[in-house]
Structure 1
Amino acid sequence: MNGRLFEKLDRSFEDMVIIRRHLHMHPELSFQEEKTAQYIHDFYTDLGVDVQTGVGGNGVVARIKGARPGKTVALRADFDALPIQDEKDVPYKSTVPGVMHACGHDGHTAALLQLAKAIHEMQEDLAGEYVFIHQHAEEYAPGGAISMIEDGCLEGVDAIFGTHLWSGTPLRTIEYLTGPVMAAADRFEITIQGAGGHGASPHQTKDAVVIGAQLVINLQQLVSRRVNPIESAVLSVGSFIADNAFNVIADSAKLGGTVRSFNPEIRDLMEREMKRVVEGTAITHDCEIKFDYFRGYPAVVNHKAETEFLKEVAEQIPGVDAVIESKPHMGGEDFAYYLEKVPGTFFFTGAQPATPYPHHHPKFDFDEQAMLLAAKTLGAAALDYQTV
Structure 2
Amino acid sequence: MKIILISVLTLFSLIQSQASAEEHSAEALLLQMNQASQQLNYELSYILIKKNSIEPLVFRHASVSGHRLAHLVYLSGPVREVIRRGEVVSYIEPGMEPFSIQSGQMIAPLIPLLNSDIKTLSQYYDFVLMGRSREAGSASQVVRVVPKDGTRYSYMLWVDEKSSLPLRADLVDRDGEVLEQYRTVSYSVNEKIAEYMSRLNDVELPGVITLPESKTTVSSWQVGWIPDGFKPHNLHRYKMLKIEKLVESQMYSDGLFNFSVYVSERDSTSLQGHLVRQGRRTLQSYVKGNKEITVVGDIPPETAKHIAQSVVFNSGTVKQKALSSKGEQPVTDEGTQP
Superposed pair shares fold, TM > 0.5 = no
Please state which structure has a larger fraction of its residues in strand.
2
Normalised by the length of structure 2, the TM-score is 0.23
Please state which structure has a larger fraction of its residues in helix.
1
Normalised by the length of structure 1, the TM-score is 0.21
Greater RCO (CA < 8 Å, at least 6 residues apart): 1
